[in-house]
Amino acid sequence: MARYDEGFLRAALIGYEGEKAKIEAAITEIQAQLGHRGPGRPKAGPDGEGHTAPKRRTMSASARRRIAAAQRKRWAALKNAKAAPLKPKRRLSAAGRRAIIVATKKRWAAIRKAKAR
């Protein structure tokens, strides 16, 4: 590829940007003639002025009732699943507690005896 100096490249860039602007203007004009609007512009109202909001979908009362009943059923199933009885908390018996106390006292007595030596 041939190497060009900076001045030549700047001039080429300016020329191409000018052509690009002309082409974009021509495209915009043709789209206007075809009735195309730019991206993101809402459609005009029936009288040709202003903008109309898109129509919102409506739901019948029976459909809302069916959806509500289904949701209540899901919540009831979830609540029943959580209400399953948990295992009772394990408690330490009096005899078990006494055995732990005796073992702890024996262990500390052995530690104190080893220190005393």
pLDDT(1) > 60: no
Q: Percent of the chain having pLDDT more than 90?
A: 56
The per-residue pLDDT for 83 is 74
Euclidean distance between CA atoms 13 and 46, whole angstroms: 45
Q: Tokens 């100096």 appear where?
A: 5
Q: How far is CA 60 from the centre of its chain?
A: 30
3: left (phi over 0), alpha (psi -120 to 50) or beta: beta
- pLDDT tens-digit readout, 102-113: 999 999 999 999
Question: Confidence band (pLDDT; 50, 70, 90) for 20?
Answer: very high
Domain boundaries, the chain: 8-37
Q: What share of the chain is helix, strand, coil (3-state, %, to 5)?
A: 65, 0, 35
- Mean pLDDT, rounded, for 27-47: 72
pLDDT(21) > 70: yes
